Amino acid sequence: MLEKILILLCLSSALAEQPCKPDASDGYKVRLSIKTALGDEAYVWNENEMFLFRATLAFAMRSHLNGQEFDVSNIIVCDETPRVTFWFVVTSPLNTSGLVDKGVVEEAIRMSRNRINSAFLLTDKTLEFIGITPTLTAPVNPDTPPWLIVFGVVMGAVGAGIIVVLVSPLVLKKRKKNEETDEDEEETGVKAVENGSTREGVYNMSFSDDERLTQM
Amino acid sequence: MDKGARPNWDNPMQFVLACVSYAVGLGNVWRFPYLCQLHGGGGFLIPYLIMLFLEGVPLFYLELAIGQKMSLGSIGAWTAISPYLGGVGLASVVTSLYLCLYYNIINAWSFWYLFHSFQSVLPWADCPINSNRTGPIEECERATPTQYFFYRETLDISSSIEVNGGIHTGQALCLVLAWLITYLFIVRGVKSTGKVVYFTATFPYVVLFIYLIRGMTLHGAINGVKYMFTPKMEQLANPTTWINAATQIFFSLGLGFGSLIAFASYNQYNNNFERQAIIVSLINSGTSIFASIVTFAIYGFKATVNYENCLERTRLLLLNAFSLAEDSITMDTVFDWIEKLNTTYPQQFAEIADKLENCDLESELDTAVEGTGLAFIVYSEAIMNMPLSQLWSVLYFIMLLLLGMGSMLGNVTAIVTPLRDFKITSRMSNELLNGLVCLFCLLLGLGFTTPSGNYWFTMFNDYGATFSLLFIVLIEVITVSYIYGIKRFEKDIEDMLGHRPNWYWKIMWSVTSPVLLIALFIFYIINYIKGGTPTYQAWNKELPCMPMPSHCLHHVS
């Protein structure tokens, strides 16, 4: 009887010390793809990096839940693989045996996602929290779509071209007409002067009435 | 009309360039490479070149001779040959009218893509995000971003030809621009066209050359070119190969529309069109082959990129499922690892077996595409993967525009030239007549900018002109050979050129070309009878699709 109680106590204490396990109800799986993201400049994943992760996550929890002081010890990690995936759970600082709710953890991570990513020089795609979809950046909507601007430029050029092509023969015709009328005016002006000068005339003697010489 | 004097080309070079600009069009870029791939790569060149000399060059020569001799548009020229044959000319004009209606829509699409290339990220590179900001739009995710951009954002396509909607304003604006540019190019008739063709005929070659260099230096381009040039000689035994070669030569040269007659009618009487006919036909075929080398280099690149992406996805799948270290599997060792993991962990492997894709380079290369699918989907996909993609995109769509505009010049000239020969319209000024024709085609063409517009376009493209052209050219060649008489025709040519056409031309005109055309004609009739009602492929936004270009469509009759 006593042995059974002892075994039960040992088991329960053992279980209590292991809140983190794969497929934990309040835990998340994290997957890092460091070599994909950084290639030759990839850092090796070791204990120190894991410490940084736990610290960053504690920071995220602190930022989200303003009053509570989360510490590195509140983030429990397990089931690490060579792929660099692991599970983590978050214990509450007020009650070390109680886990923080999944939803709260998700919100905290969403809020500080950028900070967490940049701590590891990774992106949403290479630092994945399985189950937390990243919020995508809103599309940039400029006031005038850029294609309309280029269209306007080309349309303006073509319109100007057509107007030039249609109007230029008319302009040429007008210019020709003006030149012709100018020439006419010059000619008539000269004639007028000539006429003016012939008003005086030269007296033609052969048609004068010479009574002294011929009398019929 | 200028009191009796017909306008002429400023020099013979303008005429040659106009013919080149007209004949070298979008078909050289998007139909010939497809046929090449379909009919055994390098081997297809054999029937193609044979058909070029049996029907292409002789018929081209024939049309130029008629136009230059009669110095009239197609209606007037055929009426002069025999008063009962004015209908042939009229048929040409009507066919050209159909072509004008729908061809400029392609230019409108090219403009749309060109204007959208001036962005930091090409809009067809990524799927737009849905309103919840949780992921890409569903329709886009099921298809590919390039297909989504073409079918949804460019065309706003409906699900069938009966379902209609309003005009797509962006498309309509681009169509108006296309028609304004066409008007600007032809407004003064031959005088303005003659200057424009210096550019529209030569610049596409510059771009093709640049693309050749770029294409050959792309990763994986060699795969595509090798694939194209390995001839599959057994295809030569297939009669469809020969029929497709004959059809391609026929339509590529633009015979039967009346454009060649119209262009030639502005020639000096003694212009040496014999040499020009041979030159233009050879340039046209040469361009087709040149363009297909470029296209296959691009295919090779695209296939290689897709294949490597597929390998990458498989690699990630394996890494994540079996939690192996990142550098344990590389792209080269993916297949070895698949076998290893299958044998060591069969149960776990079975779980991911359905997510595993079959990555095969051959099958990626096998996807033969033609037409607008090639030009706007496959090419855009390839371009977005190139470095400096905006620059390549702009260059490519400018080339498409020039090819399309060059052909439009011929099409509109084919309508306007015969109309000018009538007394009523000859009193109208050049500008007014051209403007009216362009306006008419623009207003009717707006119908192609509606959601079901692409289906109407397909109907016109596939069924509108093909059959009638065969008939028109058949009548033309029989008329000249037998009704007008080869002897009279010979004398006319001697009058113009100074020497008679030799036996090659005479045999082609009187025997070979008519026989070939009758064979093609019968083949088409049989096809129509067997095929039943005309069909088109429709875009269905609900059905999940396979990741292959232009396969997100299902047949609707």
Write out chain B residues lying below 8 Å of A165, CB-based.
184, 187-188, 192
What is the DSSP-derived secondary structure letter of residue B73?
Answer: -
**B164-170 CB contacts, 8 Å cutoff, 24+ apart:** B164/B450, B164/B451, B164/B452, B165/B450, B165/B451, B165/B452, B166/B450, B167/B446, B167/B449, B167/B450, B168/B449, B168/B450, B168/B451, B168/B453, B170/A147, B170/B112
CB B261 within 8 A of CB B63: yes
**Are B135 and A133 a contacting pair at CB < 8 A?**
yes
Q: What pLDDT is stored for residue A186 in this prediction? A: 59
**Are A147 and B170 a contacting pair at CB < 8 A?**
yes
**Are A83 and B325 a contacting pair at CB < 8 A?**
yes
Compute φ and ψ for A67, nearest 5 degrees: -75, -40
**Are B320 and A81 a contacting pair at CB < 8 A?**
no
**Are B135 and A162 a contacting pair at CB < 8 A?**
no
**Are B320 and A83 a contacting pair at CB < 8 A?**
yes
CB A165 within 8 A of CB B185: no
Among B330, B327, B267, B231, which Cα is nearest to B7's?
B267
Query: Which H, E and C letters describe B479-548, residue by residue?
Result: HHHHHHHHHHHHHHHHHHHCCCCCHHHHHHHHHHHHHHHHHHHHHHHHHHHHHCCCCEEEECCCCCCCCC
* pLDDT for A195 beyond 60: no
Residue A142: which region, alpha, beta or left (left: phi > 0; alpha: psi -120 to 50)? beta
Measure the CA–CA gap between B186 and B206, rounded to whole angstroms.
24
For B319, name the nearest residue in chain A, comparing CA atoms only: A83
Name the band, by pLDDT with cuts 50, 70 and 90, for residue A203.
low
CA Rg, chain B, in Å?
26
Among B324, B331, B314, which Cα is nearest to B345's?
B324
Q: Residue B164, annotated ligand binder?
A: no
**Residue A93 corresponds to which tokens in the numbers above?**
């600082």
**Are B134 and A133 a contacting pair at CB < 8 A?**
yes
Q: What pLDDT is stored for residue B2 in this prediction? A: 44
Higher pLDDT, A202 or A175: A175
Measure the CA–CA gap between A210 and A95, rounded to whole angstroms.
156
Q: Residue B252, annotated ligand binder?
A: yes
**Residue A124 corresponds to which tokens in the numbers above?**
């949403």
Asked if the C-beta of A21 comes within 8 angstroms of chain B's C-beta atoms, the answer is no
- Arithmetic mean of pLDDT, A64-79: 85
Measure the CA–CA gap between B243 and B249, rounded to whole angstroms.
10
Best interface-test mutation with A: which of B141, B323, B341 has the largest number of A CBs within 10 A?
A: B323
Measure the CA–CA gap between B13 and B35, rounded to whole angstroms.
32
What is the maximum span of chain A, computed from C-alpha positions, in angstroms?
189
Asked if the C-beta of A44 comes within 8 angstroms of chain B's C-beta atoms, the answer is no
Measure the CA–CA gap between B538 and B536, rounded to whole angstroms.
6
For A145, name the nearest residue in chain B, comparing CA atoms only: B116
Residue with tokens 């983590």: A88
A-to-B residue pairs, Cβ atoms closer than 8 angstroms: 75
- Minimal Cβ distance to B133: which of A85, A136, A149: A136
How far is CA A186 from its chain centroid? 69
**Are A139 and B323 a contacting pair at CB < 8 A?**
no
Q: What pLDDT is stored for residue B556 in this prediction? A: 41
- Minimal Cβ distance to A165: which of B114, B187, B320: B187
How many angstroms away from the CA of B324 is the closest CA of chain A? 5
Residue ranges of the domains in chain A? 17-130, 146-197
- Minimal Cβ distance to B118: which of A31, A150, A162: A150
For A35, name the nearest residue in chain B, comparing CA atoms only: B326
pTM: 0.83
* pLDDT for A197 beyond 80: no
Domain at A17-130: CATH code: 3.30.70
Q: What pLDDT is stored for residue A18 in this prediction? A: 67
- Minimal Cβ distance to B325: which of A82, A133, A159: A82
Cβ density class A85-121: b for 16+ within 10 Å, e for less: bbbbbbbbbeeeeebbebeebbebbeebbeebbebbe
Q: Which helix (H) or strand (E) holds B554?
A: strand B553-556
Q: Residue B403, annotated ligand binder?
A: yes
End-to-end Cα distance, chain A: 189
SS3 B50: helix
Give the DSSP per-residue string, chain A.
Answer: -HHHHHHHHHHHHHHHH----TT-TT-EEEEE-HHHHHGGGPPPP-HHHHHHHHHHHHHHHHHHSSS----GGGEEEE---TTSEEEEEEB-SS-TTSBPPHHHHHHHHHHTHHHHHHHTT--TTTEEEET-PPPPPPPP--SS-HHHHHHHHHHHHHHHHHHHHHHHHHHHHHHHHHHHHHHHHHHHHHHHHHHHHHHH----GGGS--TTT---
Q: Mark the ranges of chain B whose per-residue pLDDT is less than 50.
A: 1-3, 544-557
What is the maximum span of chain B, computed from C-alpha positions, in angstroms?
92
- Arithmetic mean of pLDDT, A164-191: 77
- Neighbouring-strand partners of residue A130: A29
CB B259 within 8 A of CB B96: yes
For B430, name the nearest residue in chain A, comparing CA atoms only: A166
**Are A159 and B180 a contacting pair at CB < 8 A?**
yes
**Are B118 and A165 a contacting pair at CB < 8 A?**
no
Over pLDDT 70: what percentage of chain A? 78
For A138, name the nearest residue in chain B, comparing CA atoms only: B133
Q: Please name the residues between 97 and 156 in chain A that touch chain B, using a CB distance below 8 Å.
A: 133, 135-136, 138-139, 146-151, 154-155
- Minimal Cβ distance to A146: which of B118, B177, B323: B118
For A139, name the nearest residue in chain B, comparing CA atoms only: B129
Asked if the C-beta of A81 comes within 8 angstroms of chain B's C-beta atoms, the answer is yes
- Minimal Cβ distance to B323: which of A82, A146, A148: A82
Asked if the C-beta of A168 comes within 8 angstroms of chain B's C-beta atoms, the answer is no
How many angstroms away from the CA of B297 is the closest CA of chain A? 29
Measure the CA–CA gap between B6 and A165, rounded to whole angstroms.
20
**Are B180 and A162 a contacting pair at CB < 8 A?**
yes
Other C-beta atoms within 10 Å of A80: how many?
Answer: 14
Measure the CA–CA gap between B273 and B9, rounded to whole angstroms.
13
Write out chain B residues lying below 8 Å of A168, CB-based.
none
Q: What pLDDT is stored for residue A15 in this prediction? A: 52
Asked if the C-beta of A68 comes within 8 angstroms of chain B's C-beta atoms, the answer is no
Q: What pLDDT is stored for residue B347 in this prediction? A: 82
Best interface-test mutation with A: which of B184, B324, B394 has the largest number of A CBs within 10 A?
A: B184
Compute φ and ψ for B195, nearest 5 degrees: -80, -35
Measure the CA–CA gap between B125 and B131, rounded to whole angstroms.
19
Is residue B139 classed exposed, middle or buried when 0-12, 13-18 and 19+ CB atoms within 10 A define those classes? Answer: middle
**Are B326 and A139 a contacting pair at CB < 8 A?**
no
Among B194, B219, B379, which Cα is nearest to B300's?
B219
